[in-house]
Amino acid sequence: MALQTMSLSGRKKEVSNKKMTFLERLYLWTIIKGMMITIGHLFTRKVTIKYPEQVRERSKVYRGQHLLKRDEQGRENCTACGLCALSCPAEAITMTASERKPSEKHLYREEKYASVYEINMLRCIFCGLCEEACPKDAIYLTESKVLVPSQYDREDFIFGKDKLVMPLTEAMKNAQLKNAN
Amino acid sequence: MKVTIDGQSIDVEPGTTILQAARKIGGESVPPAMCYYSKLKGSGGKCRCCLVEVSKGSDADPRPMPKLVASCVTGCMDGMEVNSTASERVTDARKAVTEFLLINHPLDCPVCDQAGECDLQNLSFKHGKSETRFIEEKRTFEPEDIGPNIQLHMNRCILCYRCVMVADQLTDNRVHGVVDRGDHSNISTCISKAITNEFSGNMIDVCPVGALTDKTFRFKSRVWFNKPYNAHRDCKTPGCCGKTTVWMFGNEIQRVTGRKDEYHEVEDFICNECRFDHKDVKDWVIEGPRKFEKDSVINQNNYTRKLDTVVIETETGILKGREQDRKKISMRHKPLDAQEQTAFKEGNI
């Protein structure tokens, strides 16, 4: 069999060059056929939403802004073990560890704490591996809808402990909630 | 003498222990060792991690040994057959020993400076379980200061006696040891004396856990963020080889240790001057990056890759533009001043 007449996909069609009849040349039937499809779409379910009024529901595994947690007593969980930085595929996390002084026992849970903890939000891909690696339940990717706000300087995208650590008021609220339950 | 370990035979000298013979063969069948240290005389026989099954005593007496034996202190016999990883009894026993060692070991690997190069961590990763059955309170000790260079965390100690042997065999007088008995036994200097001997720093290297760590490196960095290099210096201290591994972070030497081989034993002992006092790059001749086992976390820091400056390979002048195109287009009648001339010439527009 000649290659020209074979159809490997089974969808090959012969194209003819025959002259159209008068009815066909009016295109009436084809226009009606096309309009049917258009009108049919008016009655299907909409795929878009009216954004500012309606907000689409987020996935259950949505991962937003990072948070360095405090425990119920308001002490920071993070002990600067470096596992988040190790697991980070984007190498966005850096930290410096310090030794806790006896007067700081109410601030940090462990003997060692992170005196500097920085996440470069330009590098972060919000994969959540830091959260998975953390042995101390310290870092969490919250459900916060605010992602990284726009800035003019690159340095402003490096989030330090001032932006990452859970506020004390929230820690207190958590403690009250736990006591209430 | 011919010994067979896990089906692999090797000829060894009389007086070799099973562990040494297994290390000669190498590979999977080498029993783990927490207390045995080939460079320290009389070490071994305490941790029971290296238990093996002797299925045939020798050619002369082919009966199997009734109990598992500690391979680090059991000598080889001619025609001996040993099962290490091949035997289920052995893997069970090692699992149990690991659990025993971890009973009083605190779960503070995130805080501990030894994490990443810790023998107990490796042991529990390989032979341990991820959960504990121990619900009682762990044994704790008051922190004790044993000098300006060495940090003692007695809670982490597994009482392997390696540091005691270092002090006995390397230094002239030992000022620390194991005091008290049973559950209360702990490493201590007699009434808070400082350990200042010139070779006392080797206690840090021989410690299989994080009980003895470097105070000058305390909480500075995790080991896997450092870049280890082989280095040496001309050390005047008698007995010190001057050959070390320096652990660098950027251009800063954060820690100096001895060179540890695949069984985490130092090749040669170094003095405290090398270890604690020379943290300047100029003091050292750096030989090259130190290699570690394939599965070591230290390899996470991919320092062996050479970092070159990026060269964009394009036609010359493609970034600048063609010469005839690079003339002033706007306001032709005003000539360029000197600064603009150079800017145009170098293409830094």
Spans of all domains in chain B: 2-101, 160-300
Least confident of A159-173, B33-47, B114-128, B324-338: B324-338
Surface-to-core class of residue B44, CB atoms within 10 Å of its CB (0-12 exposed, 13-18 middle, 19+ buried): buried
Of A86, A112, A135, the CB nearest to B219: A112
> What is the token pair recorded at B10?
């090797």
Closest CA in chain A for residue B107: A135
Mean pLDDT of all residues belonging to chain B = 87
* Three-point CA angle A22, A28, A31, nearest 5°: 140
Question: Do B124 and B109 contact (CB within 8 A), yes or no?
Answer: no
B111 touches chain A (CB under 8 A): yes
Q: Do the strands B186-189 and B176-179 form a parallel or antiparallel pair, or are they unpaired?
A: antiparallel
- Of the listed ranges A1-10, B134-143, B156-165, B240-249, the least confidently predicted one is A1-10
pLDDT of residue B146: 87
Full residue range of the structural domain in which residue A144 is found: 66-180
> Which residue of chain B comes nearest to A135, CA vs CA?
B110
Contact B297 A136 (CB under 8 A): no
Question: Any idea of the CA torsion for B129, B204, B284, B260, to the nearest 10 degrees?
Answer: -50
State which residue of chain B sits closest to A100, comparing Cα positions: B219
pLDDT of residue B86: 84
- Give domain status of residue A142, yes or no: yes
- Is the pLDDT confidence value at B289 over 80? yes
Å from B198 to nearest chain A CA?
27
Place of tokens 């470096």: A82
Q: What is the pLDDT of residue B36?
A: 93
Does the pLDDT of residue B189 top 90, yes or no?
Answer: no
Task: Classify residue A158 as left (phi > 0), alpha (psi -120 to 50) or beta.
Answer: beta
Residues A48-76 pLDDT 10s: 999 889 888 888 889 999 999 998 888 99
Q: Indicate whether A54 belongs to any domain.
A: no
Q: Would you list which residues of chain A are within 8 Å, Cβ to Cβ, of chain B?
A: 79-83, 85-86, 97-99, 110-112, 135-136
Q: Is the pLDDT of residue B49 over 80?
A: yes
Q: Is A128 assigned to a binding site?
A: no
Tokens of residue B310, six digits: 């990026």
The rounded Cα B185 to chain-centroid distance in angstroms is: 26
pLDDT in tens, B218-235: 999 899 888 899 999 998
The mean predicted confidence, pLDDT, of chain A is: 89
Of the CA atoms within 13 Å of residue A47, those in its CB half-sphere come to 1
Q: Is residue A146 part of a domain?
A: yes
Classify residue B230 by burial, with Cβ atoms within 10 Å: 0-12, 13-18, 19+: middle
Nearest chain A Cα distance for residue B11, angstroms? 44
Closest A-chain CA to B219? A97
Say if residue B191's pLDDT is above 80. no
Tell me which residue has tokens 């080498």: B30
Count, residues in chain A: 181
* Confidence class for position B305, pLDDT limits 50, 70, 90: low
Residue A53, in any domain of the structure: no
CB B200 within 8 A of CB B148: no
Determine whether the annotation assigns residue A59 to a binding site.
no
Residue B100 contacts A, CB cutoff 8 Å:
no
- B303 in contact with A at a CB cutoff of 8 Å? no
**What separation in angstroms does the CA of B112 have from each of A57, A96, B116?**
43, 15, 9
Which pLDDT tens digit goes with each residue over B257-273? 999 998 999 999 999 99
The ipTM of this complex is: 0.74
Q: Which of A137-151, B97-111, B145-159, B189-203 has the lowest mean pLDDT?
A: B189-203
- How many CA atoms does the CB half-sphere of B129 hold within 13 Å? 13
What are the chain A neighbours of B302 within 8 Å (beta carbons)? none
Across the interface, of B111, B115, B220, the residue whose CB is closest to A110 is B111
Smallest CA–CA separation between A87 and chain B, in Å? 10
Q: Is the pLDDT confidence value at A78 over 90?
A: yes
Q: What is the CATH number of the domain that holds A170?
A: 3.30.70.3270
B2-101 fold = Ubiquitin-like (UB roll) (3.10.20)
Count structural domains, chain A.
1
What's the pLDDT at B349?
47
Tell me the two tokens of residue B284: 């050292």
User: B219 to chain A: which residues are within 8 Å by CB?
Assistant: 80, 97-99, 112
Separation of CA B254 from chain center? 15
pLDDT for B303: 55
Interface test with B, best of A77, A78, A112, A113 (most B CBs within 10 A): A112
Res B332 pLDDT > 70: no
Rounded to 5°, the CA angle A115-A120-A121 comes to: 130
B316 band by pLDDT with thresholds 50, 70 and 90: low
pLDDT digits (tens, 9 = 90+) for B81-127: 999 988 899 999 999 999 999 999 998 899 999 998 999 999 999 99
* Beta bridge partner(s), residue B80: B3
Contact B219, B112 (CB under 8 A): no
Confidence at A154, pLDDT banded by 50, 70, 90 = confident
What residues of chain A lie within 8 A of the CB of B111, using their CB?
79, 81, 110-112
Q: What's the residue count for chain B?
A: 349
Q: How do residues A13-38 score in pLDDT, each as one tens digit?
A: 778 888 889 988 899 999 999 999 99
B292 touches chain A (CB under 8 A): no
Task: Report yes or no on A70 lying in a domain.
Answer: yes
Q: Chains A and B: how many Cβ contacts under 8 Å? A: 36
Nearest to A137 by CA among A86, A51, A76, A91: A76
Dist CA B16 CA B21 (whole Å): 7
Which residue among B110, B218, B225 places its CB closest to the CB of A135? B110
